[in-house]
Structure 1
Amino acid sequence: MTRKPTSASGRRPRDVVADTLRERIRTRELRPGTRLPTQRELEAEFSVGRSAVREALAALAQEGLLENVGRGASPTVAEPTHHADAPRSAGVELTDRLHEAFQAEHVTIDAFSLTTETLNNALAWPVRQVMDLQLTPRSVTARVIIPSLGARLALPRLIDDPEDPKPRERLHQIQTTYVNALRNSLGSLSQFGTEVELTVRAVPLTPTHKLYLLNGDEALTGYYQVVKNEDADFHGEQLALYDVLGLTAKLFRSTRGAEARDEQEATFVAESQEFFDSLWTTIAVPFG
């Protein structure tokens, strides 16, 4: 989980920088070994402050896309080192799998997570590809489940005072801002001939894992790691929290289509879908 987005569009300045650089790396406009512009040059290009640039570069380094961040010179684009079947961070894996999912005529996305931050970031590339008419899905149907605004969650919470409501209030603000940004991002596709249906529901549960189901044929799952976050901002106040990491969590991919390795893998995807559907049709209520 991260700080509340502050840009007028519903996206933080660091996300604008990170999303743009991420797309340039994925499309190989920035190739492995290429040195990025200086921080001063990035500040000028994106009209953002130094802290936004530094946070964006740090996020891309965590995803394994940049090397030598924070060592004086400008960072360089990292060489791909993962094997095709190796699990990757959520920010990397979900982006690639969504881009593949958007090749379909009718795209479906089911997501269960603490916030929609990772989903928002991962959709930036395929959404841009639709806008550039490089991807042309006829429809995108997304169902999203996140914790209820009024739920008394186990995480995040203050390290010294588990009953203090401020961490939950902070989370709720982040959730709301990212949900609005998701609606704007997917909604923009209607201008390019794509029918869009997004429904967001909430459940009174604390997610211990994140789940993404794409086109009914593959499941991406990852575990949240509980960490100490002693510099969480909330209306100018610094909070020391037990928080969770989601964007850098490893995602494990399973399929039940032609690529399924065995019956167990295919059954796991089917059970994951049933788990999601069971929440959706029972205790989930409209978010907001």
Structure 2
Amino acid sequence: MTRKTSGPAGGRRPRDVVADALRERIRSGALEPGARLPTQRALETEFSVGRSAVREALAALTREGLLENVGRGSSPTVAAPDHHAETPRIAGVELTDRLHEAFQAEHVTIDSFSLTSETLNNALAWPIRQVMDRRPAPRSVRARLLVPSLDARLALPRLIDDPEDPKPRRRLHQMQTAYVHAVENSLSSLARFGVEVSLTVRAVPLTPTHKLYLLNRDEALIGYYQVVRNEKAVYEGEQLALYDVLGLTTKLFRSTDGPEARDEQESAFVAESQRFFDSLWDTIAVPFE
């Protein structure tokens, strides 16, 4: 699948609506370090949600290291950057921030190897919104996505009681297709702002044990999938009990080959990660359909 390009919309949980809005205010600088958030009652009114949704949103932002002093009888405050910048963070948060930085370059490249591209799709929302807000925009964005091929016998996901049943793989293919098209739609929106965009998607006969993102060929982000029991998966109206994988909440570890590199080993890791991706791309990968 190779396209010159244009995520799923709607259906977000109330806590995600609140968390996304506050996260954007923090990242944009509208809420600076040390600033106190509105009261929970004020957030309930602003977003028309219940108290539980507000509390869950604040808890999520606290886990991400964006808030501190939560639950101490007063409104939480925005954490200083040094409270969270150097520690591994969950994939959705870390990738969003690193993509925002990557989009400051004139020519952006994104190489992604993952199970479904869900995390990438979610993380693109913030940098794309910045471009739409007339912030400095790159001249071009080139993305290459690798996902597992369903022609191969994947180890995961699978039914707990019947590893050969094809329904988990069919369900996975539906998810892959949905998120690949969501990434395509998100990137294509940049064309209206004069950004040249290309997206190529290929499949490889491998079961990913990790997710890998390579940004501008000088930064690598890697996180490991955790295998879990998922007994509430649904496929065509049927509830499935799966051995499944978690990716959105896994932590990403960042390495750079740029001026911030700590040592030669870190630079070498980025280079080898890029070679790993390129070797799959240039040999056994086939167009994703």
Q: TM-score, normalised by structure 1?
A: 0.82
Q: Report the residue type matching 1:180 in the other structure.
A: H
Q: Report the residue type matching 1:151 in the other structure.
A: A
Tell me the residue number matched to 1:13: 11
Measured after TM superposition, the shift of residue 252 of structure 1 is 0.8
Tell me the residue number matched to 1:205: 206
- Pair 194,97 (structure 1): closer, same or farther in 2 beyond 3 Å: same
Asked whether the 8 Å contact 2:65–2:84 carries over to 1, the reply is no
Tell me the residue number matched to 2:4: none
Q: Report the residue type matching 2:114 in the other structure.
A: S
Asked whether the 8 Å contact 1:25–1:77 carries over to 2, the reply is no
Percent identical across equivalent pairs? 72
Measured after TM superposition, the shift of residue 214 of structure 1 is 0.6
Q: 2: distance between equivalents of 1:280 and 1:40? A: 50
Q: 2: distance between equivalents of 1:33 and 1:280? A: 47
Q: Report the residue type matching 1:11 in the other structure.
A: A
- Pair 112,12 (structure 1): closer, same or farther in 2 beyond 3 Å: farther
Q: TM-score, normalised by structure 2?
A: 0.82
Gaps of 5+ in 2: 1-6
Gaps of 5+ in 1: 1-8, 45-50
Tell me the residue number matched to 1:47: none
Query: For structure 1, which segment, 232-241 or 33-42, has the greater mean C-alpha deviation from structure 2 after superposition?
Result: 33-42
User: 1:224-239 maps to which residues of 2 (within 5 A)?
Assistant: 224-239=225-240
Query: For structure 1, which segment, 9-18 or 58-67, has the greater mean C-alpha deviation from structure 2 after superposition?
Result: 58-67
- Pair 94,267 (structure 1): closer, same or farther in 2 beyond 3 Å: same
Measured after TM superposition, the shift of residue 254 of structure 1 is 0.8
Q: 1: distance between equivalents of 2:236 and 2:68? A: 33
Asked whether the 8 Å contact 1:91–1:121 carries over to 2, the reply is yes
Q: 1: distance between equivalents of 2:103 and 2:45? A: 35
Q: 2: distance between equivalents of 1:175 and 1:59? A: 26
Q: CA RMSD in A?
A: 3.1
Tell me the residue number matched to 2:270: 269
Q: 1: distance between equivalents of 2:249 and 2:91? A: 6
Query: For structure 1, which segment, 174-183 or 32-41, has the greater mean C-alpha deviation from structure 2 after superposition?
Result: 32-41
Asked whether the 8 Å contact 2:230–2:243 carries over to 1, the reply is yes
- Pair 262,67 (structure 1): closer, same or farther in 2 beyond 3 Å: closer
Asked whether the 8 Å contact 2:102–2:215 carries over to 1, the reply is yes
User: 1:53-132 maps to which residues of 2 (within 5 A)?
Assistant: 63=64, 79=79, 82-132=83-133
